[in-house]
Chains A and B, each alone.
Chain A
């Protein structure tokens, strides 16, 4: 099966992956104004907007790094919608229902819809796994990082100064613990249902 043809704005996503200063600057020049204006209109300031933009670009980068992110709509629409929804979510979290917003949070209704939803699910899942990983003990975290970056368990055993059998067993135990933590969380169940 061949995937969809990327939009010509795909180059912005490539730029994030390759840390291309020139093109990233272009992203800011072209697309940040709209986000800043939106945040300012909705109880925020430039520094809030700057945070939202940065977080959104980091999320896009993470997703693109992990699995192919093919832009099927203009970057502008995708990026703005992500920023906007991120800001509205933050407002909702910080002020509960105290602020009135001139927009409906649930309305995503153009061609960037699917892509935005996909990125948001990716981000939520990433945050969830990250927070559960941090709940593990220090030893487990270190062991998992090592066993999953250094492919050979013999080598990991050598680095840690323990036996191969120990690493093998301990890895499964730590992974088991983490799997249980993740499966017990409601957020994970909800993500699975999406």
Chain B
């Protein structure tokens, strides 16, 4: 009995009843506020699920857009406000790095062996982090895993595919460029790095640093130097750049 009323409501809302049936049902609605409310709720729910399914794709796309933009605009602000903390950490890190560097220089001096720095000494990449807690996007996970484990050639495929779905994502562009650079595909790497260098994203300085490393790897030392000099002293990559400049 109770189930039948839902069959009836469904037929009514889907306009599947005959004219007489509609008339009879609407008369019932007038005299039965409880039934009228049931029909209202039924209609509400139907609309909710229909719209929910229809906007699913757009909703996902917008969410990604917001995350990316928020990352660039708000995280930059956060970086600026916490810059104080980072400086002290960075300083410690670089004092340690500089000590290692000095030992290296001393070694070179005593061995009377002068040579140019090599790419591999400087190519340590920040880990790629694309997923957030609870994220089960398998493509993102694969890209992260392969990149962070140093399987750059494999990661190129995953990063390229992610970028196809999200062509404006600067982080993906940068990491794909790094992977390409590792694979000696210099021109392709450059094609991603140049626009980032021209742009205003948080990855601007990183792009210059990697363009410099690309030249280093290709033994184009003069171009490498010129790029390193472009990195501003407020940048995270400044000390690395200065160390490499000294080395050159």
Contacts and interface: CB of A to CB of B under 8 A. Distances in A.
Interface of A: 16-17, 19, 21, 24-25, 28-29, 32, 36, 45-47, 49-50, 53-54, 57-58, 61-62, 65-66, 125-126, 129-130, 133, 144-145, 148-149, 168-169, 171-173, 175-176, 178-179, 182-183, 188
B45 interface: yes
Given A144-B49, A172-B6, A19 B62 contact: yes
A interface, by DSSP: helix, strand, loop or mixed?
helix
A148 B46 contact: yes
Nearest to A182: B41
B65 A148 contact: no
A129 B55 contact: no
B2 A130 contact: no
A150 to B, nearest CB: 10
Given A145-B49, A172-B10, A25 B73 contact: yes
A47 B82 CA distance: 13
Nearest to B4: A172
A32 B51 contact: no
B31 interface: no
B48 A50 contact: no
B interface, by DSSP: helix, strand, loop or mixed?
helix
Given A47-B78, A179-B38, 10 more contacts: A17-B58, A24-B69, A28-B69, A45-B78, A50-B74, A58-B63, A129-B48, A172-B3, A175-B45, A178-B45
Contact of A65 (B41, B55, B63, B67): B55
Contacts of B41: 179, 182-183, 188
Interface of B: 2-3, 5-7, 9-10, 37-38, 41-42, 44-55, 58-59, 61-63, 65-67, 69-70, 73-75, 77-78, 81, 168
Contacts of B5: 176
13 contacts: A19-B65, A25-B69, A50-B74, A54-B70, A129-B44, A133-B52, A144-B49, A148-B53, A169-B3, A176-B6, A182-B44, A183-B37, A188-B41
Of residues B5, B55, B61, B75, which shows the largest number of chain A Cβ atoms within 10 Å of its Cβ? B55
A28 B62 contact: no
B130 to A, nearest CB: 17
Contact of B58 (A19, A129, A176, A188): A19
B3 A66 contact: no
Contacts of A32: 70, 73-74
B196 to A, nearest CB: 16
Contacts of A45: 78
A29 B3 contact: no
B61 A19 contact: yes
Contacts of A188: 41
A176 B42 CA distance: 8
A57 B63 CA distance: 9
